[in-house]
Amino acid sequence: MRSPTTAEVAWLAHLARTVRLAPSSADRREAVAVVVHHAQRLNRDGVSWRRICVALAVAPGTLRRWRRTAPPRRPSTTEARKPAYLPPQPARSRLIAPGHGEPTTAVHTTTWERSRERFIPTILPSTPAGHGFTIIPVRRPQRESSRRVLIATGDAQPGNNRLDHEISAIRQALELSTIHVVERSCAAPSELAGFLTTERPTILHLAAHTAHGALAFRLDGYTHWVDQEDIGQALRHGPPPRIAVLNSCATYKLAIEIAEWCPAVVYWPNTFDDDQARIFSDGFYRTLARGLPVSVATAAGHHIPPDSRPRMIGEPDLAPFPTDHD
């Protein structure tokens, strides 16, 4: 089995958004049929169902239900020769305008932005105009890379973790600095690359519960365990931060997965609790805010047992937030 390309992942994420944006049950059924059609073609092309679920940000049970209930599609002779990934082609659906009995055809268009050779689809439903709905192309705003920390969290429910205490510690540690903190709670793996592209953070701080080598994320309202290899692949579809902090238990495999993509990766080799995560985060970011390198910041958690302290891979002298006098 092969890994999906960046373009294929972006296209699947776009199709999944058309399901969520469908204005009626009939349009949702049609959008689901399109998703299933393209997912089956990718699977026949060598992409596993597990990775297709990660790209769609849906649980495996949801995709199985979609495959079971979706009506069969009969592709034309021309369509049968097309590849599974066709981002330039607009997807058409029949939409019924408010107050009109006859359905009209609206074109769902997408703006594809090239950023470091990565395509990001963006769609937005507009106000109904004329005789039908339209989905207009919009450009997702992108910030220049600057002094910014992006905190993305998974599903804390399985371990009853207090990720909010960890986030609060980071905010307070950087409160008197010029470093901006951006929070994205309960994120799906397929959203991580979009967050990196939009926010362009200096540091990505990923916090989630870990069990049996997989991280817990929330998909379709249920806990979904995602392998570290799949998370690494999802991250690599976005522009790399200067430092990635993996504040989850036993994330060495994920650290190795993204070591060539990110200049410096901080990870925990073993298990730890919420208090240790909070103590480490406070000392780590206070040290970085003083302009010190990541190797010094990683060793800031003096109250944590030596065997359980975080470790790092990459450039030890990297200082992401140099002070004015440096």
For 112-147, the pLDDT digits (tens) are 333 333 333 333 343 333 333 333 344 455 555 579
The domain total for the chain is 2
* Each residue's pLDDT tens digit, 28-53: 888 888 889 989 999 999 999 888 88
Residue that finishes a domain, picked among 81, 106, 137: 137
Residue that finishes a domain, picked among 137, 162, 180: 137
Compute CA distances 14 → 119, 159, 191, 314, whole Å: 11, 31, 11, 34
- 123, 213: one domain: no
Confirm whether 300 is domain-assigned. yes
Q: What predicted TM-score, i.e. pTM, was given to this entire model? A: 0.68
- 78, 225: one domain: no
Residue that finishes a domain, picked among 91, 111, 137: 137
- 80, 170: one domain: no
Instruction: Using the predicted structure, report yes or no on whether residue 173 has a pLDDT greater than 50.
Output: yes
Confirm whether 81 is domain-assigned. yes
Confirm whether 272 is domain-assigned. yes
What average pLDDT does this structure show over 222-241? 91
- 273, 213: one domain: yes
SS (HEC) of 10-63: HHHHHHHHHHHCCCCHHHHHHHHHHHHHHHHHHHHCCECHHHHHHHHCCCHHHH
- 165, 280: one domain: yes
pLDDT recorded at residue 29: 85
Instruction: Using the predicted structure, report yes or no on whether residue 91 has a pLDDT greater than 50.
Output: no
Where does the pLDDT of residue 301 fall: very low under 50, low under 70, confident under 90, or very high at 90 and above?
Answer: low
Confirm whether 89 is domain-assigned. yes
Which range marks the domain in which residue 153 is found? 148-314
- 172, 302: one domain: yes
Where does the pLDDT of residue 73 fall: very low under 50, low under 70, confident under 90, or very high at 90 and above?
Answer: low
SS3 category, 163: helix
